[in-house]
Every structure is written in structure tokens, then in C-alpha cells.
Structure 1
Amino acid sequence: MTLPKVPNQRKIVDRRALAAAIDAVVAEKGAAKGRPAVVALLRAALADGRAELQGRLLKRPGAGHEHAHGQAFLIDQLIRVIHDHVTLHVYPAANRSSGERIALVAVGGYGRGEMAPYSDVDLAFITPGKPTAWCEQVIEAILYYLWDLNLTVGHSSRSLDEMVRMAKEDLTIRTALLEARFLWGDQALNAEAGRRYRAEVVPGSESTFVQEKLEERNARHRRMGDSRYVVEPNVKDGKGGLRDLQTLYWIGKYLYRVQSAAELVEKGLFTHSEYRSFRRAEGFLLAVRAHLHTLAKRGEDRLSFDLQREVAARMNYADRPGKSAVERFMQMYFLQAKHVGHLTGVFLAHLEEETATRGVVAGFFDVVRKGRARKIDGFVVHGGQIAAPADDWFQQDPVRLIAIFTLAEREGLDIHPGTMRMARRDAATITAEVRRDPRANALFLDVLAGRRDPEPVLRWMNEAGVFGRFVPDFGKVNAQMQWDMYHHYTVDEHTIRAIGLLSQIERQTLADDHPLASGIMPRLVHRRVLYVATLLHDIAKGRGGDHSVLGADVARRLCPRLGMSEEETDLVAWLVRYHLLMSATAFKRDLSDHKTIVDFVGEVQSLERLRLLTVLTIVDIRAVGPGVWNSWKRQLLADLYEAAQERLRLGHKTHGRAERVSAKKARVTDLLGDKGHLVADLDDRFDDTYWIAEPEDVIALNLPHYAAARDGELPLSIEAQFSPEFGATLVTVIGNDHPGLFFRIAGAIHLAGGNVIDARIHTNRVGKAVDNFLVQDPLGKPFSEASQLARLRKSIEDALADRIDMVPSLAKRPLKAMRAENFSVAARVTFDNGASNRFTVIEVNATDRPALLNRLTRAMFEQSLLINSAHIAQYGERAVDTFYVTDLLGTKIHSEERLGRIEAALLEAIAAGKPRVAEAAE
């Protein structure tokens, strides 16, 4: 293997000039005394070379291949100069024996000539036999020079026999040597190493190599999140990243002895078009990795939020209406990752076909061809796979591009990779005429709302490009990132996951996780409405404006085309328009406030709408990403559903509330077991508001705690316990209520290193405060160790006993920059006197920062407000905190002047939490 030609090489490094300068130093000072000067010359050459390559990258920010090869060329020349200096000046040997020979070989990514600015330098030193003393001295000296240059060197020193033996035993070594590239030293020895590798290591091991490489890839994917659409992808090791492309090349090289990816075309594994796609994806990913290394000043391969914006700017992406520069850049990234996925499928399909006839890796793919193939709807089916019977099958009738996916979902079959390749090639035959075809639309609805498992089939359809062609609005959100800390996946991936969850709920496979939704599904009248609404709920993201409103417009256009009735179309449009209504009400409003339920029901209007919206809300939240759904949210949504259902069924009758409370008391009694009597014992302490607001499992913890505090005549009792269901720590404070209690508790939690993610505060009938807080650490993890829980309790106890001077203590605590600071959340305070009959509702939107809740509640205390309840919601970097308040006389705040003062105080409190510039730079 040779390194591709690098333009203007001497501007990067002039090896002859550098060698001459070193010779001059040695001539003047000698090799030993001249060593510092030699190192200085090498460092200067490395710095100058990197600067030259950096300048080229800024001029051509997408030239990934050129930059990677340039980096490898720079290191090549430095190693050659170092080798010659060591063998000529440091350890000269006039009459070397046959054993005193060394071949310097670049291996791994360095051998392939693909280096980022801070990539490891992987070297192999090969000797004929056991290294002589001279060989060991030379190798050590070369390594010390490289370490002096602050290069990260991965190295091995092996004899020819050791190389062969270890390559046979170890996949990593075998793979590294597969990319071996001669650098300097003994050419004959290098040629012998290559000959022995090809003759003694490769033959007979092809099947094992392919199997191990694909298993290695799958394990890496699982480790990195098993999706190419995670919002902070790893450019090198993530699914759809550089390592996936390299795996294809490794397999091709091992089986077919190719020396470059271009030769895969000659072997029939890629078409010319697919190879161009390979090169584009590889070049883009190499460029992104180069910018990442340059910005981080280290070997950084994770495209994290704090670097995405900067990489986008360096690669000349600009804002467009409805889509920021970083969103456009990340969409391009995910499109390239999608191409990598397609290329993997194509490659393995051809490999399978080759193995069926040539037996190169026979047995690995386990292609069972027993019995005769059968036909279904014209498609050939065998071995659990569907195949097109002819190369022009889809071109003859493009509706078949939809039919094959419908068949796959209905029959539970896979689609042959070769046929998938044909579908991707022919996706462009889906024109406006095909999109209007009633057959195609009926087939599409069949797969979308399939009874078996539509998720994987829709993902195949998306990967083939058929989905976006048939539903162009979906094509617009293909690979579109939602640039925030809340959403874990691209819009298309989130949508397909939501449809998959909906199918699982309908098939009753998630009944334990989602009992409410699982109970609703069999009672729905408009089942397919729900599937179409799930498809369309985020369809208008990235267009500018409210995506719910714009999405409803899309629904009104698309649903009639899909063959849906006017009633179904109206329902889908309503669900898309209001798909955020239920979560906003449940998480940001007081469900014990009668007006909350009245307003929600006024918008929903029917039981069918309520059922549809409930299930859509659940799958939408659950599909956001891991850790977003928890039992707290499940309980709040269930409470809202039950309250709204009672209201819709009973109208203005009031006994529905009492029945709900009674039913919850019965369930809590069951949860308490032998302590179930506490429900009746404490009935005179807690009113209906408490019973409606709190989840059952929290009440089952609160009541024994309250009883123990009462029986012990404790003025203050604090409990902190890890709650796996919530993914957080539940902190409960029971004590005498007094003004400022809330902000003191919130401040104490922050001083103990915690972050409040939700809060429910109550004052019972005898003036006791019963406040529940969900707490996590700054990394979003719960406190679970005994020492952490004790620290939380002690901090709250000290704060409420005035043993802590809260304001200066909080001021001393550093406000370090958090990941949330990478995002811009405009601080906003809104007041609503119509949301409750008794309270003014204050909603605060701000960047989520430590101690935000403490600052807000302290500002309210200083503005003489009484907080009746607080509802803390987090959406990644955005905090939405809602407070139900009155003045000291218990009345709403109507004065515009006073509302203005409150708003100013709250905005000042938000601004006070911003990290200082010096701290943000740390």
C-alpha cells in the first residue's frame, strides 16, 4: 500500500532540508549533545506542518481525504528523518549482521493514510528474528524522539515468526497488519513480512475474519447507542461512522486482496455510483473528525453539542429560514451516516451472493435454500426473505416499491439486501402520479398501521429512500436533528420509534410499562387515525413557525390522498395540532385545580379524542430517548386522563372528583399492606388536593413518614431515598409551614450538590408542610449512596434551622458552565389569571441551571407572594417552572404594575444564575 499523492508536499515538510539541518547540528555538537537541538528542529517541523495543513483545511473545509493523507505524509517524513538520524548518528553500525535489520511499518489508520491532527501513530517494528541489541537500541531511540514530539504512539516490535503467530491469534493485530504500509528501513524484510502474512495468516481464516469483524461491529454499535441517529454521535466508532466504512474495506481486502476501496467496484461489490457515495461519506466524516481534533486540541471523536456549532461554522454552514447552521450541518452528517448504512447492506448482499457460489465464507451467512421458493403477490419468497423476480421489477410498476414493504410487514419477512439495493436505486420512479395512486396509498396505510410490527419495515423503507419519496414531507425531516438536549434522535428516527412503540402497546407487549395506553387501544374507534397522527406529529419541524400548526396543515393535505375520510382527516389534524396539549397540562399545571381540568376538557371535547391524544402523548414522550419517561410522568398523565374522562362522562356533576380520590385511596391502601390503616388514620390531615396531585407510590411513602413524625412529635422530618422508577432521588420534607420554606429547601438541595427536577408542595389541614422533591446530580443521575442521601438530609436540616446563611453560601458555590449553556433559551415570564379560579399562574422559561428554583422562589418570597404549588418540568436544556401563587391576603395579582415588578425580579434572578465568563471558559 502506498500513500496517495499529497499536493505541495514541501510546504508541509521538506525532509531533505530537515535532514540537512540535523546533520549540521550533529557535525557541530555531536549526536548526544546535539539532541536538544535536534528535538527542537523536529518540533518546529511538526508545528509548521500542522499549521500548513490547518490552513489548507480552513480554505477547503470539506477536503477530508486530502487533509488526512497530508497528516500521514507529515508523520511519515518525520519518522524517516528520525530513523536516518538514529541509524547514522546515534547508533551507527558499519557492518551490520543479517539480524540487524529493521522494517518500519505504519499500521491501522496510519497505515491506511487516514489521520486526524491528534490521531495515534501506530507503528510496527519488524525484525528478521529475535531483536539484536542494536535493533532494540534503535527502536527505543526512535520511540523517544516521537514521544518528545508529544505524539501518541502505538507500537509493537516483533520478529517475522512472532508477527505471523500473533496475527493468527489476535483479530486486532491481524486487522492492523492488513493495512500495513512500508515507511522506511529494510524493504526486503517488509516484503517478506507481507508475503508471509498473505501466505500463512490469511488462507483458511476468511470465514472467521468476516464473522469476527461483523460481531465486533455489532458490539461497537451496541456500546455506542445502536443507532446512527443519536444527537451526539461518535464520528469514528458510532453507527454509520468511519469505522463502519473501514470494516467494509477490511473485509473486502481480506477476501479479495484489494489495495484500495476503488477496487471494490472491479470486484462487483459496489457500483460506480455506490463507490462515489462511499468516497463522499468517507471524505465528509474525515473532514468532520479533523475539525473536531483541531477544535478540541486532542484526539476527540465525539461530536458533542459544544463542538457541533463550531464545526458547522468551520465547514461554512449558514442559517436558513426555519433551520440553523448547526441543524443543517448535523442533517448532512446523519444523511452521510445513512449512506454508510446503505453501503453496508449493499456490500453484505453481494458478499452473500458471492459466498453462495464460491464458498469463500460459506456457512457464516447461513443461507438456507431448502425446498422450492414460493411466490406471493408476484414476489419470490425463500429462506424468510422477499426478493424481486427481475431487475426491472420496480421500474415496470413503481407501486411495487410500496407493496414489497407491505408484504414484509404482513408476512413477517425480511427483504433480500439485493432487492433493497434495487429499491433504493429505483426510488426515484415514485412520482406525483404514483403518490396519487389509490393502490399505493392503501398499501402505505397497511404498512404504517400494520398489525405485526411496522417499525423495522418503516425503517427499511426510510433507508431505501422510498418513505421520503412517497411522503415528501417526511423526506424533509429525514436525518433532521432537533438541536437540543431533550431529543435523543433525529426527527425521522424519533417518529419511527414512536410508531413502533404504538404497535407494541397495541399488541399488549408493554402492558406493564404502559397499562393506561394498553387499556385504551382496544377501545379506540379510529385506530389508523392514531398511526397517521403519530407519523405526522413532528412532520413540520424545521420549517419555521409552530410545527404543530404547520403539521396540521400537512395532515389536511395528506390524509385525503391516503384515502382517509373527512372525519378521519379532521381527527388527525386536531391530534397533530394539539399533540403537546396533554403533556403541557399534566407537567406544567396543577391537576388538583378544577379549572385546569375544565380548560383541558373544553379543548378535547370527546372521549375518543381524549383516548387518541393520551396514547399519542405517551408514545411521543417515550420515543424521545432513554431516561425521559418515568413513573412520575406516567402517574401525572393517568391522573389527567382520569379527571378529564370523569368530566366528559359526568359533565358538571361533582362526584367524579370524590370517586377518583376514593379510588386512589383504595389503591394506596393496597400498596401500604399492613400499614393500610394509615389512609383512614390520616384522612383528616390531607384534603383532596393532595390526593389528586401526588402519585400513589409517593403517597404510600409520605403517609408512614408523616405518621412517624407525628408520633415522635418531631417539628421537622426529612427523608431522602433513591427511586429507580423516577430515575431520581425522592426528598420529602415534613414540618411546620412558614414563608420562605420552599426556597430554603431548594437552596439546601443545591448546596448538597443536587438539582431539583420536580417539586410538589402541600400544606395540610393542620398547617404542616408536606413537600416532595425529585432530585438528581448535575449529570442527571440520582443520589443513591448512603453518604449522598445523608448529605442531602443534613443540608436541608441545617438550612431550615438557620445554621446556614443561605445567600452568601450560594454565592460562594461556583456556577460552572453546563452543557445547557451551549443552547440559547430566551428567558421568559408569563402570567395567567384565567388558568385558575383562585391563583395567578406564573410560568417561567429559562436555561436550566443549578439553583434556578432557589433563585426564583426566593424572588417570589421577596415579592410577598405565597406559593401554593410548583410544577417543575425539564426539556433538556430548557426549564419550565410553573407556580400557582397569591398575595399575602390569598388573592390573585391583577395589578399590571405589580406584575411588572414580579417579572423584573424573576428575570433578574434568572440572569444571576449565568456562569461568569472566566468560569465558562474553564
Structure 2
Amino acid sequence: MDPKVLSQDLSSSTQKDRALLHLEDGSLLRYCKRLYRLEMHRLRIRHWNGASGDKIAASRSTVIDAVLQMIWETVLSNLRKIGSRIGGSIPSLSLSWIALGEYGSLDLAPFSTVELLLLGKSTTKTGTVPELEKIAEVIKSIGFDVRLSILPPKECLQRAQTDFAFCFSLLSSRCVTGDEAIFQDFFHRFRSGQFKNRLVYVYELSELLKQQHNQYGHSVYLLESDIDRGAGGLLDYRALLQSVRLVIGSEGPEKIMAEGEITPLEWKHLGEARQHLLRVRNHLHWVAGERQDFLAHEVAGQVADFLGYKDGRSQKSPEAFLRRTIRHRKHVAMLLSRFSDQARARLRGVAEPFRTPYLKLVSTTGSTQEEQTPERWMKLFHFSQSQPMLLTVQLKRSIRTNLSKWGARDFNTPSMHDEFRAILKTKGKVGSTLRIMRDLGFLGKYLPEFGRVESLPQLDRAHKYSIDEHTLRAIEALDLLADSTDPTLHDYQRVLDQITDPSLIYFALLLHDAGKGLALGDTAGSERLAARALHRLNYDLESREQVLLLVREHLSLGHISQRRDIDDPLIVQEVSATVETADNLNMLLLLTYADLQSMGETAWSERKHFLLWSLYFKVFDRLMFGDDISEPEHAQVAAIQQKVLEHLGQEFDVDTILRHFLFLPEKYALYTPLPQILSHIRLCERLQGLPVVTEWVPHPHAGYTELNLSTRDLPGRFAQIASVLAANGISILSAQLNTRDDGIVIDTFQVCDAEGQAIVDPAYCDRVNQLLSEVISGEKTFDVLVESRFHHLSARQTSSSMIPRVRIDNDVSSQSTVIEVQTEDRLGLGYHIAKTLADLGLNILSAKLATEKNYAFDVFYVQTREGEKITSSFQMTEILERLRFKLNVA
């Protein structure tokens, strides 16, 4: 139903009942509640039947208008009665009911807060103030959230001068009921006096939107953000329209387009963006049954289904829906940014004429239309790396406007390719240039392999942004290394300086995820697209091979360092054989760092930094010295043993220290940090007749605590330790398990508390130590208590749609069978897996437990009781079935 027709129907129906309603006896409130509930139910039905977003938003505003008009008419009736009681005169209450913000602009979602201003003052001192208080009580009791202000015009203007958010809401104001004259007089004074300095308005608006974006979604490319107040959302839409109308001095779209602020095509796309965002927001509200403007992963599929999106060959329906949403938000944000830049430049008096008809080609002074070519634009992008002011607002608009006039052949010339490679070689300034090229649509036209992933989401929870934004942020992370003075980045900076041709790693980063735009969305697809682009851009054969290696292996160092036993010589040998040269290893290290940095706050940590560099050094040494322990490494082992003797020579005799090394593999000295070796020896000597001894070393800045532990080896020992830690709310991040030939276990765990922070409380550690001692000595059986705790937690946890995946691999390690588990992360997951493996008679030699957001990837290196790999297919099947069953139940 059209909102105007709805307004007429509501006015007609309420007119009949108005005479029977009274403010004092509560009949008015009951009637308004019933009316509002009924009309909202009808709106809900209309929404589910496919009504457009603007119709629902406008209709809800109309319903509230009708309710408020009913209240006002009843109040006036009561005031007449008051007048008769005090001598026959009717109190004069010059009151205007004004809708503000999204209510004023008819963008009101089903459960959005209604922003209402009662403007005016009474000329009668008695009787009317209580009436206003009663009005406020009734409005707040109807059933919708309301932000109500009751102000006289003077105070309202003063507040607008000091509170810009309120001032901005007033721009969307409209009179709902009451004294129309007081509203018109006030609004004229507000518009004429408040915006004399429009440059100040532009800056204050930018600051307001920046604050909102920082809180609700700073980028249009975020996969989870606020539809209303996030970047490119409905608030930005209202800001753009109100600001353009303020500058132009006209409400009509014809005048706005005639002035050249927005072209007809841009206006059409802007309307489509508003319709889409409103309908999505409406649906989020109806599904939640309350105000819900946050578009999260969990509901994207529901919204996509409701809007009619279907799975395609290369995209699932939620991805297609989110891609459309991102594109709409990009358009809103682009127009708002362009308007703000032009307005600031014009109001400062440093720009060309502000009003440029949309049909006139916008070009730099002195240039001709023939000069507006892709080849010339590429040169300008290159030059802008040293002279950013070359890319003016008008030039950017010209590129965007004229881009569609050129075909694929116009973007494939040798000179353009040379300029593009020159852009990629300018370390420190690549990301900002590519970002401008992407935002103008130029990069996707020049490099269609990248264009495939523009605005494309990836719903794997490890990524916060669309693929193109993730890629550009990775390139910008690499740029930061070039001139950074941060001492923590010095090692990466040193490696970057050693790269022979930095354009290769930048190009690899640019296309490392390009294959996600294909049907399979895998790394092999990225490699194929990269090969095609390299051929077209005339890279030499050696450079092509290097880039393709980086694209193909861009996940290797990260996955191996976090999920594999990097002390295993076979792992180091395989990585060395893959990278082949130190230059390739250096580029792969930097690519891994940049990729992880751009995935979100939780994707990078000090622990991952340590693991990545540990693997890097091991592979680098292998590349330099070969497969076996070389003479330099033998010397290094001897040097480490000598350092240990120097540190512990006063505490222990030489035989005790050397026996420790003799009881462990030769590589132990190379792959274990010196502080850990010292701790291990002290723990082993302290053990004596005790069941267990521990040492807790907190690393607060890295977010974990290192737990060194020594006890005697028995089957299921790891499960016992994991049970105690889990029952105390401690998560295991990784575990390095060593067993000496004399049966003494020396384990190192990286652990954190339930909030992901380091454990620093000594008293807490003492309690855990006591429980460890009681469980390992057999004084307590912890299984019952642990299972009870997990049952209590599982009752509060929501079920996961992720099916646990278990894989057994006998090729990764030369001495152990590797069992990989992927599932939803939960407290005690390591315990459940370890206990199941122990029940199956397997010994755990080492473990890596990695977590990304709420998903776990745990890897266990195991052997049979005879110290061999698992070779029986029957035993493998039993392991898979038992683990899958346990993980589903847990």
C-alpha cells in the first residue's frame, strides 16, 4: 500500500474513534498501543510478501505519524477542558511535532528509534507543563523506542550549535502535526543561521561520520558491519543527500543532476543502493524482533534466501548477496567522498568551478579529450607516486566517467605494462596507488584477473574483508616495511631490502587469491590466472616462475609453522626443496607476513611471528648447509652445550648436563631455545621423587604463558595434563613434547586463559600445579569432574554447523603418523582428542593446536606403543570413527 493511501486510511479510521478517547483514563494509550501493534503486524506481512524497503520504511513513519496526531488531537481536547475550568480561556500551546533523523527522512526501519522534537512554548503558565509530561509518558509507553526532546526554539538553536549530531538530525526534519507556522519559522532560522560557514559544516559532518564508521564499520569492504551507521550505509546516504541539497539549495533531483553534482546514472544507482540497504535492514529487524542493524555471517544466508539469491557456478547465494551489498555501499561512499572533497576544495577557494555539468568532459587544464586514454592514465598513476597532487578530484571523476569507452585492447600495450611494473617496483608506495586504481575501476579493467575478485566476499571467518580489500591491505602491510622505524619490523625490513626485484612479490600478492573468483576458488586457479597475466604483461620466464611459485605456495609457511612439527627434519627438507633459493624463501616469508597481517586482528600474534621465523631460519640453514647436520651445525651444537655448561656449571655436574643431551635427539639442541634447555635441565633434576614439576613463564604482550613441565612417561600422560588445564579454563595453543631415553618427559606448552590472555597470577598457577600433582600421582581421577564441566558448558554453547574433519597422514613425518583435526574450537578440545588417542593405545610425541577465530586446527604426531607409525588400515579406520564420534558428542 502506498504510504499516502495508508495515511488517508489511518486518518479516516482514527477520526471516528477520537471523540471516545481521553488522556486521563488511559483509553488513549490503550487505543494507540492496539493501533500500532495492528499496523506493525500488517507491515510485517507486507515485508514478507515482497514490499520494497522504502515502502515499509515510509509506512512505518506514516503509522507513527497517525499515532502522534491522534495523541495531539486528544491533548487539544483536554486543553479545552482545562481552559473551561480556569475561567473559560483556552491555554495557548504553540507546539510543533517534528520528526528528526531517519524518521524525518522516512528511512525508519521496523524497530529503529523514533527521534521526535516537541518544539514550542505555552503562553499560559498553569496546566500545560503537566500536559507535556503526560504526552511524553504516553509516547514512551506505546511500544516503540523514542528519543524525545521538548525544547523552545531558542534552546533548540543553541543546542544545534553545540551538538552537531542533533544539528544533522534537524536537517531531515519535517512537521508531523501541531503548529506548522512555528516549524516553518524555526526551520528558516535554522537553515539561514546555522550554515553560514559551510566549510565548518563539511568538516564537522566528516568528523561525525568518521566517529560512526570507527564504531560501526570503517570500510565498505567489511563482511560484517552495520547497515545503517557503517561506511557506505544509510547514514552516509542521508548525509550525502542532505548535504547536496544544502549546497544546491533545492530538494528536487532534477536540480541536483542539472548542477552536475550527481549524474542521472549515478542517481539511479544511488536509489537502487538505498532500496537494497533499506530492505536488508528491514529484514534484519523483523528476523531479530528488535533493532538489529548489524549484518553478520550467521544471517547473511537467511537474508540472501529471502531476497531471492541463488547459488551459481562460482558463487553461493550469500556471497552473491554480500557482493551486491558491498557494491551498493561503495557507490554511496564514493559519491559522499567525492562531494566532500569537491566541497572542501571549492569552499577553500582552491578548485576549479564547483558546478560542472555532467555531460562536459572533466579534464585537467590544457589537456584535450584525445589525451584522456588508458595509457596516459597509467603514466599519471605512476607519476602520482612521487606527486600525489596530480590526481585531482576532477581527474579522478574524468577517469571513472570515461573508463567504459575503452576496450580490452586499449589496456594491453607494452608501454602500459612497463609503467605498471614501475609502479610495483616503488616500494612503500604501491598499495596507495593500486587502491586509487581499484576505486576508480581502472585496476579491474587493466588486470581482469584481479577484477574477478573485486567486492567478492569470502565467508571462511578467517577474513574480515572482501578479497580485493584483503589483497590491497596485504600490499599496504608490505609497504609499511619499506620506511618503518618500528624495531619489531626491522627483521622483515632487512629481508625486503634483500629482494632482487620487489615487483615480483607485489605482483604475487596482487593475484594470490585471484582464483577465488573462479568456480573452484582454489590456489590452482590463482596460479592459472597469474600465469595468464604474467604472459600478457611480458614478464621473462624466470620472473614468471618465481611469481607462480609464490602464488602456489603462499599458504605453505604459515600453515607449516603453525600446524606441523618444524623440528622434524623431513618437514624442513620438503620446504627447502619447494622454495629452492634463499631469494624465493625471503619473498615467501614477506608474502606470508603481509597476508596474515591483512586478515584481521586475530590472524597475527607474537607466537605466530616466532613460529614463522623459527621455520624460516631452519629452512634457510638447510638451503645453506644441506640435508644433514653440517660442520657449522655440529659446531653450533657444541657451542650451545658449552653455553649451557657456563650457565649451569655451578648448579650441576658436567655429566648431568651432558647426559641430558645424550638422552635426547641430536637436533634438540638446535631447535630448542637456550632458556628452555636451561629450564628443562633444572626441571628434570628437581623431579626426583615428585610426581611433576613445573615452571610458568608469562609473555603478556604476546598473549600466552609458557608452561614447562617435567614428569615420568606413561601412556595417556598428555591427556591427563590436558584434562587439568581444560578443567581450569586454560586453552592449549601449542605443545612440544619430548621424552628422554630414561623415561622422563619434558613438555613445553603455550597456554592462555579463557579470554585469550597470558596467565600471570602465581596463586592461580599454584592451584593448577597442585591439581596436576594429584592427578598424575593418582590421588584424583579427573575424568568425572572434567566431563561434568564440559557438559555444563555445552548446555550454554550454540551448536555448530561445521562437521568435524579428521585426516591421517603417514607421509608428512618420517617417524610419526600425523593426525589432523579441524572443528569448532571449544574449551577442552585438546583433552578430548588426547584422551581418545590414549584410549586407542597411541603415544603423542608432539602437538600443534592452532585457532583462527572460533575454529581449531589441531595436529598430533603419534606412534604406536611399539614406537612405530600406524600402518594398519583397520586401526586407521577405528581412529577416524572414534575421533569423529567423540568430537560430535563433545
TM-score where L is the length of structure 1: 0.86
Tell me the CA shift for residue 789 of structure 1. 6.1
Tell me if 1:85 matches 2:62. no
Which amino acid in 1 is paired with 2:269? Answer: S
Structure 2 equivalent of residue 222 of structure 1: 214
Tell me the CA shift for residue 719 of structure 1. 4.9
Structure 1 equivalent of residue 355 of structure 2: none
Which amino acid in 2 is paired with 1:577? Answer: R
Measured in 1, the distance between the counterparts of 2:514 and 2:217 equals 24
Q: Structure 1 pair 131/225, CA: closer, same or farther in 2 (3 Å)?
A: farther
Tell me if 1:632 matches 2:586. no
Q: Which of 806, 809, 819 pairs up with 1:832?
A: 809
Unaligned 5+ segments in structure 1 are: 358-366, 370-385, 914-922
Tell me the CA shift for residue 419 of structure 1. 1.3
Tell me the CA shift for residue 265 of structure 1. 2.8
Which amino acid in 1 is paired with 2:263? Answer: T
Secondary structure of residue in 2 paired with 1:208:
helix
Q: Structure 1 pair 48/528, CA: closer, same or farther in 2 (3 Å)?
A: same
Secondary structure of residue in 2 paired with 1:882:
strand
1:697-716 aligned at under 5 Å gives the runs 700=675, 703-704=678-679, 707=682, 710-711=685-686, 715-716=691-692
Q: Deviations over 1:396-422 (max 9, x none)?
A: 422122222111114354621121111
Structure 2 equivalent of residue 685 of structure 1: 660
Tell me if 1:6 matches 2:3. yes
Which amino acid in 2 is paired with 1:809? Answer: S
Q: Which of 29, 45, 64 pairs up with 1:75?
A: 64
Q: Deviations over 1:170-193 (max 9, x none)?
A: 222322222221011122222222
Q: Structure 1 pair 425/885, CA: closer, same or farther in 2 (3 Å)?
A: same
1:792-807 aligned at under 5 Å gives the runs 800=776, 802=780, 804=782, 805-807=784-786
Structure 2 equivalent of residue 142 of structure 1: 135
Tell me if 1:157 matches 2:157. no
Tell me the CA shift for residue 267 of structure 1. 4.1
Structure 2 equivalent of residue 893 of structure 1: 870
Q: Structure 1 pair 500/353, CA: closer, same or farther in 2 (3 Å)?
A: closer
Measured in 2, the distance between the counterparts of 1:71 and 1:582 equals 55
Tell me if 1:478 matches 2:454. yes
Q: Structure 1 pair 857/6, CA: closer, same or farther in 2 (3 Å)?
A: same
C-alpha contact 1:111 1:180 (8 A) present in aligned 2: yes
Q: Which of 797, 821, 831 pairs up with 1:854?
A: 831
Which amino acid in 1 is paired with 2:794? Answer: L
C-alpha contact 1:394 1:401 (8 A) present in aligned 2: no
Comparing 723-732 with 703-712, which one deviates more in the overlay? Answer: 703-712
Structure 2 equivalent of residue 404 of structure 1: 380
Which amino acid in 2 is paired with 1:79? Answer: L
Q: Structure 1 pair 542/139, CA: closer, same or farther in 2 (3 Å)?
A: farther
Which amino acid in 2 is paired with 1:14? Answer: L
Tell me the CA shift for residue 794 of structure 1. 6.4
Tell me if 1:598 matches 2:573. yes
Tell me the CA shift for residue 223 of structure 1. 3.6
Tell me if 1:197 matches 2:190. yes
Q: Structure 1 pair 856/344, CA: closer, same or farther in 2 (3 Å)?
A: same
Structure 2 equivalent of residue 808 of structure 1: 787
Measured in 2, the distance between the counterparts of 1:876 and 1:660 equals 42
Tell me if 1:100 matches 2:93. yes
Number of aligned residue pairs: 869
Measured in 2, the distance between the counterparts of 1:786 and 1:629 equals 28
Measured in 2, the distance between the counterparts of 1:592 and 1:430 equals 55
C-alpha contact 1:455 1:496 (8 A) present in aligned 2: yes
Tell me the CA shift for residue 332 of structure 1. 1.4
Tell me if 1:611 matches 2:586. yes
1:52-451 aligned at under 5 Å gives the runs 52-60=42-50, 63-89=52-78, 92-94=81-83, 99-128=92-121, 132-199=125-192, 201-224=193-216, 226-259=218-251, 263-352=255-344, 354-356=346-348, 367=350, 388-389=364-365, 393=369, 396-413=372-389, 415-451=391-427
Secondary structure of residue in 1 paired with 2:735:
strand
Q: Structure 1 pair 71/764, CA: closer, same or farther in 2 (3 Å)?
A: farther
C-alpha contact 2:345 2:351 (8 A) present in aligned 1: no
Tell me the CA shift for residue 787 of structure 1. 7.6
Q: Structure 1 pair 308/650, CA: closer, same or farther in 2 (3 Å)?
A: same
Comparing 837-846 with 85-94, which one deviates more in the overlay? Answer: 85-94
C-alpha contact 1:228 1:337 (8 A) present in aligned 2: yes
Q: Deviations over 1:371-427 (max 9, x none)?
A: xxxxxxxxxxxxxxx973368647742212222211111435462112111111122
Q: Which of 861, 864, 881 pairs up with 1:904?
A: 881
Q: Structure 1 pair 778/39, CA: closer, same or farther in 2 (3 Å)?
A: farther
Measured in 2, the distance between the counterparts of 1:520 and 1:223 equals 36
C-alpha contact 1:229 1:490 (8 A) present in aligned 2: yes
Secondary structure of residue in 2 paired with 1:268:
coil
Q: Structure 1 pair 571/156, CA: closer, same or farther in 2 (3 Å)?
A: same
Tell me the CA shift for residue 222 of structure 1. 3.3
Q: Deviations over 1:621-663 (max 9, x none)?
A: 1221223212222222222222222222323342279369649
Q: Structure 1 pair 754/448, CA: closer, same or farther in 2 (3 Å)?
A: same
Q: Structure 1 pair 878/391, CA: closer, same or farther in 2 (3 Å)?
A: farther
Measured in 1, the distance between the counterparts of 2:96 and 2:43 equals 28
C-alpha contact 2:842 2:864 (8 A) present in aligned 1: yes
Structure 2 equivalent of residue 360 of structure 1: none
Q: Which of 616, 627, 635 pairs up with 1:652?
A: 627
Secondary structure of residue in 1 paired with 2:93:
coil
Tell me the CA shift for residue 228 of structure 1. 2.5
Measured in 2, the distance between the counterparts of 1:293 and 1:96 equals 47
Q: Which of 553, 572, 587 pairs up with 2:562?
A: 587
C-alpha contact 1:102 1:135 (8 A) present in aligned 2: no
C-alpha contact 1:15 1:78 (8 A) present in aligned 2: no
Tell me if 1:883 matches 2:860. yes
Tell me the CA shift for residue 788 of structure 1. 6.7
Q: Structure 1 pair 461/835, CA: closer, same or farther in 2 (3 Å)?
A: same
Q: Which of 735, 758, 767 pairs up with 2:711?
A: 735
Q: Structure 1 pair 391/111, CA: closer, same or farther in 2 (3 Å)?
A: farther
Q: Structure 1 pair 225/74, CA: closer, same or farther in 2 (3 Å)?
A: closer
Q: Structure 1 pair 716/55, CA: closer, same or farther in 2 (3 Å)?
A: same
Measured in 2, the distance between the counterparts of 1:792 and 1:744 equals 12
C-alpha contact 2:695 2:707 (8 A) present in aligned 1: yes
Secondary structure of residue in 2 paired with 1:845:
strand
Comparing 165-174 with 549-558, which one deviates more in the overlay? Answer: 165-174
Q: Structure 1 pair 88/349, CA: closer, same or farther in 2 (3 Å)?
A: same
Measured in 1, the distance between the counterparts of 2:94 and 2:185 equals 12
Q: Structure 1 pair 329/88, CA: closer, same or farther in 2 (3 Å)?
A: same
Q: Structure 1 pair 441/60, CA: closer, same or farther in 2 (3 Å)?
A: farther
Unaligned 5+ segments in structure 2 are: 353-361
C-alpha contact 2:202 2:344 (8 A) present in aligned 1: no
Which amino acid in 1 is paired with 2:243? Answer: I
Tell me the CA shift for residue 169 of structure 1. 2.6
Q: Deviations over 1:672-701 (max 9, x none)?
A: 99999999985643645555555x4xx636
Tell me the CA shift for residue 208 of structure 1. 2.4
Q: Structure 1 pair 565/99, CA: closer, same or farther in 2 (3 Å)?
A: same
Tell me the CA shift for residue 548 of structure 1. 0.9
Structure 2 equivalent of residue 869 of structure 1: 846
C-alpha contact 1:410 1:451 (8 A) present in aligned 2: no
Secondary structure of residue in 1 paired with 2:748:
strand
Measured in 2, the distance between the counterparts of 1:267 and 1:348 equals 16
Q: Structure 1 pair 788/101, CA: closer, same or farther in 2 (3 Å)?
A: farther
